[in-house]
Structure 1
């Protein structure tokens, strides 16, 4: 039976959560489920879905925005969804407020995606909005454990691993990372793709690379992303004398193509809900070096699809990267195993089917 859903994402930026929201909406529609998307009027999500006739431009100006909530309530009454699915915290607040207005009967069930492994805020507003959530869909079991520890009942928490659009990855044309950034021909390249924020751990990665180049002198590190730490990371690169070895080119739209021509993909996070860029890298058949934190071990199997090291440990990170760059046979084995793992367990189709199953279970429990 078709399930009518409204999906809400209020972010302006484009990160993993917005991509997963769009993949979910597209996947549900492909299965015949009527789906509406509510997105920020000036956001990247709306820009990437410009021809969507069921996209409503709406976002709160602040967390408690009754006017925006009233508008959403009108949309809910007109569309009459069975499920209201919020993909970010402000979206949860907006949905919770909207449900306080007059609703069809029965009102839609409220589902919230949780993709970060941060603790829930302990203030009264946070408690009030999350109290109305009927089901939390967590991107990893690690995130679910944090929610339960923060007082969310375990029977309201489920895990649905995020998915990657394997066909989209396969269709992305390779882009020479050497030519794009004028790197020496044949130099081994390590790629990191992440926002430049503290919990992504690039400061430890740069420290680690100072050791890597002592063993692999022609190695290069390319860090793609933008964020508040860009200037301080550039200063760190200069301080370590790594200007020829470490590049911070900022945000790129051709990440998948560049990823296909890098030698190793690295994730240095201190905290990580799951890490969708890891899934992309595995789908591109890249060997992985990553930190053993959050949901990352649910994606990367140590010594099978890559190497895991403790977070904040620059020495261990350097050793793993050096090993991966010098042992080409092992790198090829890890890459092949990662490619198989992502195809069998982390496809977007798998994610959407599991999401629908959670909707069905939730609605069945109400009836």
Structure 2
């Protein structure tokens, strides 16, 4: 990734429901207006066929030099990415709580997300982030461009996002992170003891 580039972060596993295809098409259009922007997709490949499709899109669009796919990334590294990114994007077709959006907002990374269940409950358009229709690369590129070129709007949504997290999500995030730790410990113990081997 070139030095000095601003980072657009997409925290999502490589999966059709997370719709990296729309993100890459939006990013290709965005580079025409903002050539100093790079994209980091932070998430593991969970669908090999879809991952291959994303790789082909990267090659076909000549995006490889400005797109990084970070599969193995620790929680502390993720926190640094949230803090260093210009903004965070989620273009999911469906979500549960949208925890990644809440985490981004808690670290002060402005968010652009799709207007779907699980995200619209977290992000309120032009208040603490921007919402766009799903599967719409031009709308997504336009929202990212708008936020990255409007410092007043950027400051507003960043401040409101942090307040939203403080008011509504601090306890939920703590519970979710605690459960994740328990699940990780159990998974490591099961792996070490051979539970599930051969199943």
TM-score, normalised by the number of residues in structure 2: 0.81
Question: Which one of the candidate residues 221, 231, 235 is aligned to 2:39?
Answer: 221
Q: 1:306 aligns with which of 129, 141, 144?
A: 129
2:30 aligns with one of 188, 196, 212: 212
User: Given the superposition, is the C-alpha separation of residues 290 and 244 from structure 1 closer, same or farther in structure 2, using an over 3 Å criterion?
Assistant: same
Aligned-pair distance for 1:289? Answer: 0.4
Give 5+ residue unaligned stretches, structure 1.
Answer: 1-181, 353-367
CA 1:261 to 1:313, structure 2 compared with 1: closer, same or farther past 3 Å? same
Asked if the contact 2:129/2:157 (under 8 Å) is kept, the reply is yes
User: 1-side partners of 2:29 and 2:135: how far apart?
Assistant: 15
- Mapped to 2, the partners of 1:295 and 1:213 lie a distance apart of 29
Structure 2 unmatched ranges of 5 or more: 176-199
Q: Is the CA contact (8 Å cut-off) linking 2:2 and 2:66 kept in structure 1?
A: no
Match of 2:8 in 1: 190
8 A Cα contact 2:82 2:108, kept in partner: no
Larger of the two Rg values belongs to structure? 1
Number of residue equivalences: 170
Higher-helix-fraction structure: 2
Asked whether 1:341 is paired with 2:164, we answer yes
In the superposition, relative to structure 1, how do residues 349 and 209 fare at CA in structure 2: closer, same or farther (>3 Å)? closer
Q: Is the 8 A contact 1:188 1:325 kept in 2?
A: no
Within 2, Cα distance between the matches of 1:191 and 1:257? 11
Query: How much does 1:338 deviate?
Result: 0.2
Q: TM-score, normalised by structure 1?
A: 0.45
Shift in Å, 1:350: 8.6
More RCO (CA 8 Å, sep 6+): 2
Q: Cα RMSD over matched residues?
A: 1.6
